[in-house]
Amino acid sequence: NAGVTQTPKFRVLKTGQSMTLLCAQDMNHEYMYWYRQDPGMGLRLIHYSVGEGTTAKGEVPDGYNVSRLKKQNFLLGLESAAPSQTSVYFCASTPRGQSVPEAFFGQGTRLTVV
Amino acid sequence: AQSVTQPDIHITVSEGASLELRCNYSYGATPYLFWYVQSPGQGLQLLLKYFSGDTLVQGIKGFEAEFKRSQSSFNLRKPSVHWSDAAEYFCASSSRGSGTYKYIFGTGTRLKVLA
């Protein structure tokens, strides 16, 4: 049972380069999220999706774009990477209809922008 | 606005000692409350969750948490810490809005266990 899988696990980018982080979940969850984790700041929500074909901005969306063309996948894109985007990125998913909605997390992607 | 505060950035305890990690939340109603643990280089794993019912919640790995509405707190406890408990712990709250659940995380407490 894979759960939430993030690809890649590590990446180093040069300033100005672009990349896409892939999140895939095999639990048929409706809701998906992208967070970034920075020291002393906990996890901050970048974008989220309430279903296939829908996305919305979270707390820190600037510099990122997302797409959810398929229910099981949620892509996070950086069009022009900046050093401030050096972080650990986590994808999470939640099922709809749970009495206490638990978020399931991927293993994270460590991104360094130089 | 919803918020979660973990006042302790670092905590060090000896193996076998008891542990209490503090968490305070701010929300108009009772939110969903969670404790997650993150081992180095890993994702977040759910320890326990609460919304209603018995205010003392049992979780995995011998952890428990107590919800106290009067103090807006949801503190995590363990009676006897093991070296493998060294990790970072996050308290989180969630509420429904904009068609989904929005999770707010505290800044985390890093636990060090002395042998």
B100 touches chain A (CB under 8 A): yes
Per-residue pLDDT, B38: 93
Contact A42 B106 (CB under 8 A): yes
Instruction: Tell if the CB–CB gap between B107 and A42 is shorter than 8 Å.
Output: yes
Integer Cα distance of A31 and A33 in angstroms: 7
Contacts of B98 in chain A (CB under 8 A): 50, 56
Evaluate if residue B41 carries a pLDDT over 90. Answer: no
Peptide bond into A8 cis (omega under 30): yes
Residues with pLDDT less than 50, chain A: none
- Residue B47 reports pLDDT greater than 80: yes
Tell me the C-alpha to C-alpha distance, in Å, between residue B42 and each of A106, B18, B39, B48: 8, 25, 5, 18
pLDDT at B32 > cutoff 70: yes
Average pLDDT, chain B: 91
Chain A to chain B Cβ contacts (< 8 Å): 64
Q: 3-state DSSP helix/strand/coil percent for chain A, to nearest 5?
A: 5, 55, 45
**Given this model, what pLDDT does residue B40 score?**
85
Q: What per-residue confidence (pLDDT) applies to A1?
A: 62
Q: Is the pLDDT of residue B2 over 90?
A: no
- Four-CA torsion A18, A106, A42, B55, nearest 10 degrees: 160
Residue A14: predicted pLDDT: 97
Q: If you average pLDDT over residues B37-53, what whole number do you get?
A: 90
* pLDDT computed for residue B75 by the predictor: 98
- The CA-CA-CA angle for residues B1, B37, A46, to 5°, reads 45
pLDDT recorded at residue B28: 67
Nearest-CA neighbor of A109 among A46, A39, A23, A50? A23
- Taking phi first (over 0 means left), then psi (-120 to 50 degrees means alpha), and beta for anything else, what does residue A67 get? beta
Is a pLDDT exceeding 80 seen at residue B96?
Answer: no
Residue with tokens 């009067």: B70
> From the CA of A61, how many Å to the nearest CA of chain B?
15
- Please name the member of B42, B101, B103 whose beta carbon is closest to the beta carbon of A107: B42
Distance between CA atoms of residues B79 and B98, nearest Å: 39
Q: What is the pLDDT of residue B95?
A: 80
pLDDT digits (tens, 9 = 90+) for A57-71: 999 999 999 999 999
**Half-sphere exposure at residue A99, Cβ-oriented, CA atoms within 13 angstroms:** 5
- pLDDT of res. A39: 87
